[in-house]
Structure 1
Amino acid sequence: MYEEKHKHLKELEKVLATRIESVSTDLSHEHDADSAEQVTERENEDVLRNLKEETRLELKQVRSALKRIESGEYGTCATCGEAISPARLDALPYATLCIRCAR
């Protein structure tokens, strides 16, 4: 029933895992010897760390959605038990709440 969602989530999982690897690689680079350049590099590292954490959290949600597909719980609101609308799942494929409960 949710074959397309499963496929989309698997693709998203790969994209997010690749992003985490890329950011991790960027964070592992040595700093420039120039102190002015180091300030910029450290600011960039803060942005990269935030991006990595946000991506890690999204990846966790994607993997959770994949487990819900496998268990047959996907598309059901975790709070009220009603169906999550297809439009909501299109917009946020790892949604766990219907729009009413999300508000």
Structure 2
Amino acid sequence: MLDVAAAKTRLTAQLTDLQSRRAGLADTLLEPLSPDLSEQAVELEDDDPLGGQIVVIDREIAATEAALARVDDGTYGECVRCGNDIAPKRLEVQPEAALCIECASQA
């Protein structure tokens, strides 16, 4: 059986963690560059993957926020595409899942 209260607690903790990770990455990207030109090149090269990580985390934040909205509106655990139940085991592994396994495999 699906424990929605536990899912909300887990999603809230996940969201806090993601936001913290994103803030840390953003802070790193805002650090001033070294005055040494060769060091600047290395720093700028390192910034590209950090920017990519922020994009991924932003997607995870959006999915987690959407899952929390489904908790609040009473549709958490229902596939957003077909309306069938999402397996509780799937939600244990991926609490922000919006699709049942069948719809996810078709996507």
Task: Return the letter of the residue paired with 1:90.
Answer: E
Gaps of 5+ in 2: none
* Structure 2 residue matching 1:96: 3-state secondary structure: coil
Alpha-carbon deviation of 1:31?
0.9
CA deviations 1:1-34 (Å, max 9, x no partner) are 4011100000011111111111111111111122
Name the counterpart of 2:70.
Answer: 68
Question: Could you tell me which of 31, 34, 38 is aligned with 1:32?
Answer: 34
Task: Return the letter of the residue paired with 1:75.
Answer: G
Task: Provide the C-alpha distance between the structure 1 equivalents of 2:12 and 2:31, rounded to a whole number of angstroms.
Answer: 30
Task: Return the letter of the residue paired with 1:96.
Answer: A
How many correspondences in the alignment?
A: 103
Name the counterpart of 2:50.
Answer: 48
Task: Provide the C-alpha distance between the structure 2 equivalents of 1:95 and 1:47, rounded to a whole number of angstroms.
Answer: 26
Gaps of 5+ in 1: none
Task: Provide the C-alpha distance between the structure 2 equivalents of 1:67 and 1:80, rounded to a whole number of angstroms.
Answer: 18
Runs (4 or more) in structure 1 with deviation over 6 Å come to none
Name the counterpart of 1:13.
Answer: 15
* Structure 1 residue matching 2:80: 3-state secondary structure: coil
Task: Return the letter of the residue paired with 1:23.
Answer: L
Name the counterpart of 2:101.
Answer: 99
* Structure 1 residue matching 2:84: 3-state secondary structure: coil
Q: CA RMSD in A?
A: 1.0
Alpha-carbon deviation of 1:46?
0.7
* Structure 1 residue matching 2:89: 3-state secondary structure: helix
